[in-house]
Amino acid sequence: MSRRLVILLAITLLAAAVPVAHGETSLGGQRAGTSSGTFLKIGVDARGVALGGAYVALVDGPFSPFYNPAGISKLRDPEAAFSYARWPADIGVFAFSFGRPWGDSGSALAVSAEYVGTSLDETDEYHPLGTGRTFSYGDLLIGFTAAKPFTDRLSIGISTKFFREDLGSGVGGPITQSWLVDAGTAYLIGALNGRLAISVQNFGPDLQPEGTYYSSVNQGQVDYASFSPPTSFRIGLSLEPYRQGAHSVLVATEVVHVSDNQESFRAGVEYTFQGRYRARAGMDPNADAAKYSAGLGLAVPLAGSNLKIDYAYTAGGPLLAIHRWSVVMPF
C-alpha cells in the first residue's frame, strides 16, 4: 500500500472525528446513564490509558481481550499480563490475562479476568454514621479469546465473556449475571508500520438484576429494571511516521461510538528510545473528566524475551489523579 494511501486513511479518520470532537450534541448527552456494567469501559493496560485510550489498533498481546481480540494473533510466545489501578472512593481495579500461540497457523488463545470492587459501611436513615455492618460491591468479568490470521496482514478475533455484578448481596442487594461477546479485526497497512483496526465490544442482552425489591410507589414487590450493556464500536489507526537510529515516534487515533453516550475521538503519541524506553501522552477531549493522560514504559530483557513495565497517570479533575500499573511478562 502506498504512502499516499496511508496518509489518505489518516486524514479520513481525522475528518470523521471532527464532528465528534467539536460537535457535541444533545442526542449523545441524552444517552448518558442508560447502560449497566459501565466498569467495562475502564481501561486496564497502562500503555493504552497513557495514549488516551487510542489503543484498538496498537494492542497486540495478552491485554488484547480488553480492547481488540484480534490483537492476540501477534503473540509468538506465551505471555501473562497483570494490571492494577486505585480509583477514587477506594475502588480497586485488577486485571489479568494469559495468552499463547495455538497450532502452526498463527492462531492464538487467551483467558482473561477483571475485577472491580470495594467495601462500604452500611447506613440508613436511623444510622447515618453506619449500622456497624459493611457490604461489598464487586464486578467480575471472565473471558475466553481466540484469534486467527487469515492473511499475512489481516487477523480476526472473538471473545466470549461472563459478566457478574454484585451490588451488596451480603445485605440483600441484587446480583446481575450475563454473557457478552466481543469481535475485532486488525489489518497491517504495509507502510509507516501502519495498522488499521475495528472492534465491537460488550455486545449482548440487556442486563437485569435478579430478584425483586419492594416499591413504596407500587406498594409491592417489583422487578428490577434492565439496561443494555455498554456496547461500543471502535475504529482506530496507528502510524510510525518517524524512525531514525535509536529513536522512533508512533501516533494513534481512534473514534469510539458507544451505546450510552456521545461519540468520542481519542489520540495519543509514543516516543521510543533504543526499543526499551518509552514516553507517552494522550487525550480524550470528550470525556467528562480524565481528559488527559501520560505515562512511561520500560522493556527489560528476560528469558530471551522482554519484561514490560508500564505506568500511566490520568488527570482526573474532580476525581483526583488516577495511577495505573501494568506488567507483561514471558511465561
* Predicted pLDDT at 157: 95
Does residue 124 lie in a domain region?
A: no
Number of domains in the chain: 1
CB 116 within 8 A of CB 39: yes
* Predicted pLDDT at 45: 94
> Residue 305 to residues 26, 101, 330: CA-CA distances in angstroms?
49, 15, 7
Cell of 128: 447515618
CB 310 within 8 A of CB 296: yes
CA separation for the pair 132, 122 (Å, rounded):
7
* Predicted pLDDT at 14: 47
Domain containing residue 170: CATH number: 2.40.160.60
Cell of 235: 475504529
Does residue 130 lie in a domain region?
A: no
Closest CA to 307 of 279, 331, 286: 331
CB 55 within 8 A of CB 252: yes
Mean pLDDT by 10 residues, the chain (331 residues): 48 46 46 70 92 92 94 91 88 94 88 90 79 83 95 93 87 87 92 91 88 76 84 93 93 89 88 94 84 93 86 83 92 81
- DSSP letters spanning 60-114: -STTGGGT-GGGGGG-SS-EEEEEEEEEGGGEEEEEEEEEEEETTTTEEEEEEEE
Does residue 203 lie in a domain region?
A: yes
CA Rg value for the chain = 21
Does residue 319 lie in a domain region?
A: yes
Residue 227 DSSP class:
B
Does residue 125 lie in a domain region?
A: no
CA separation for the pair 196, 5 (Å, rounded):
12
Q: In 3-state terms, what secondary structure has residue 229?
A: coil
- Domain of 181 in residue numbering reads as 3-119+135-330
Cβ burial, residue 330 (10 Å; 0-12/13-18/19+):
middle
* Predicted pLDDT at 35: 65
User: What is the distance between the terminal CA atoms of the chain, rounded to a whole angstrom?
Assistant: 36
CA separation for the pair 200, 320 (Å, rounded):
30
CB 22 within 8 A of CB 11: no
Does residue 126 lie in a domain region?
A: no
* Predicted pLDDT at 40: 87
* Predicted pLDDT at 25: 43
Does residue 265 lie in a domain region?
A: yes
Closest CA to 233 of 20, 26, 63: 20
